[in-house]
Amino acid sequence: MLKFATRTATALALLIGAPAVAAQAAPAASAADYRARLPQDEVIYFLLPDRFDNGDPANDRGGLKGGPLVTGFDPTAKGFYHGGDLKGLTRRLDYIQALGATALWVGPIFKNKPVQGSPGQQSAGYHGYWITDFTQVDPHFGSNADFAALVTAAHARGMKVYMDIIVNHTADVIQYRECVGQRDCPYRSRADYPYQRRLGVDGAPINPGFAGDTVHTEANFAKLTRSDYAYTPFVPAAERGVKVPAWLNDVRYYHNRGDTTYLNESATMGDFVGLDDLMTENPRVVAGMIDIFGDWIDRYGIDGFRIDTARHVNPEFWAQFVPAMQARARAKGIPNFHIFGEVSDHEVRPAVLAQHTIVDKLPAVLDFSFRQAVIDTVAGRAGTDTFEKLFDGDALYAKGFDTAVQLPTFTGNHDDGRFATFVRKAFPQADDAEVLARVMLSNAMLLTLRGVPTIYSGDEQGFVSDGNDQDAREDMFASRVAVYNDNRLLGSSTTTATAHFATDNPLFRQTAALARLRLATPALTRGRQQLRARGETPGLLAISRFDPVSGAEVLLAFNTDTRPLTRQVEVGTTARAATTLAGSGCGAVAAPGSLTVTLSPLGYAVCALKAPQ
């Protein structure tokens, strides 16, 4: 196994390419021009407010009194609120902008049910996905005024703000009489439990004249007056009016068919671990959700939506919702409103993602296939031809490459875990220098290849989680969670027990340098791609990107192997020389159309090709 020596400051600068990048640093985004930027012009920074920074300890308990099972606040437990809020986020905009991010994707901020779960299995809504009130900020995070202040402050810096929204479900409020006292409530299908019979095909007739949930008219759904076709739903007295707007308290607007298996029919009609699954086929629900989220655009002038669990909503809903949101945004003077859905998938299968841009008509989706390709090749041993499969799939999206270039790309997140964690699991004998080199290689791919690079907070500070979900949601401010604080970070001798807003971690420095390079180089934001080299084993991946106006070529070369390599790479025949913009290894043009590339183990190079004047 290759052992990586400790890098000196000089070697690190070469790896990052800092000197070359600094010369091409893009000017800070201005408040005057940020609206004109296309989605692919951004570098996104994603965070959960509860885990970012605590600007106001007075709201830690959300205005509630009692212990953690009432308030949801327990800064020592990974599944409860820790105190982060919108004021904390606002005061850290300098830090985020220093990283090179131009857009914030803020985890859901809506008012949540503070705690839910069966006895002994409770956790809190710190993540924001258990909404009860869609019209206001959760008091744990502050107030609507605090959100307005955040958006205003971000826009003043030329930064965009994307909200994380949910239309698939609400908090777990509705109960089923047949499942009281049970942890699970199995899904009951439309065939076995049709809408027109009570509790099964042999039950009493109900809902006369209802033509089924595929007839999306108000007149048809007006005939769906009873909801006890699969289970007998009810709302406990203490929660009968807890949801806002008030129409959300009516059980008729939910599927009420039990827990999803995440497959087949239940994928769009079942409850996620008990969360109340909205009947998004109903025109009242469609109109209600358009009103809810259109109002957030009207009030705050936000710049986009990330849509949670998008694949678990019927396509007809999106066909109405998306154009309505785009129209509201245009009316507010927001021409490039970015909407991207979560379509979680864990294989390199672009077709799975692309269908949601065609059938569902979503403008973009999170690029889970990109993430998997980087994991398979850099946190794994797959050949670099994995990327050929990935990028060949760009043709499948609704507008081909024009859609693919707007897909937010990422290597880790709050649900699936951090990239560094996958590296350590795949290469348990690797020393920290090798792990760091693999993470840096993944960052180089993320920040130079097509798509919209999305950085998960903490990755730039070398966070290495124990796993996914709650284990990958560490605090950026000083943490009191023991299972976070015993993690061994990359590029730092500190732990998560101390705050991490410094800018000296090598991963922060690399990310900032590459972000500046990206924003200063149109070929890396809007340019088309051409695959130049790949293989069936670890080693060279080379891709050219082209300036959309001048046609100038930038060659990206990556070495996924732990052995150095020197190779000839095909480039445009007019290239006469190459300048290294980041990394190292751009050599001489050996002959028309052939550039020599020399890469260190797990190294990379960004090469600007020069043609005759």
Q: Which residue numbers are catalytic?
A: 308, 342
β-pair partners for 530: 544
- Spell out the residues 6+ positions from residue 60 whose beta carbon is closer than 8 angstroms to its own: 54, 73, 75, 81, 83, 140
Helices 432-448 + 419-426 axis angle, to 10: 130
The pair of structure tokens assigned to 314 is: 């019927």
DSSP H helical ranges for 427-571: 432-448, 482-485, 506-520, 522-525
- Burial of residue 530 (CB within 10 Å: 0-12, 13-18, 19+) is middle
340 half-sphere exposure, CB direction, 13 A CA radius: 26
User: What residue type is 55 in one-letter code?
Assistant: G
User: What residue type is 66 in one-letter code?
Assistant: G
Query: Alpha carbon 554 to chain centroid distance?
Result: 27
Tokens 């924003």 belong to which residue? 519
The pair of structure tokens assigned to 158 is: 């030329």
- Spell out the residues 6+ positions from residue 274 whose beta carbon is closer than 8 angstroms to its own: 116, 172, 185, 259
Q: Give the Å distances, CA to CA, from 36 to 31, 201, 423.
A: 10, 56, 38
Task: Give the span between the Cα atoms of 60 and 179, in whole angstroms.
Answer: 34
Task: Give the span between the Cα atoms of 334 and 349, in whole angstroms.
Answer: 32
* Cβ 309 vs Cβ 168: under 8 Å: yes
Residue 51 dihedral angles phi and psi, to the nearest 5°: -105, 10
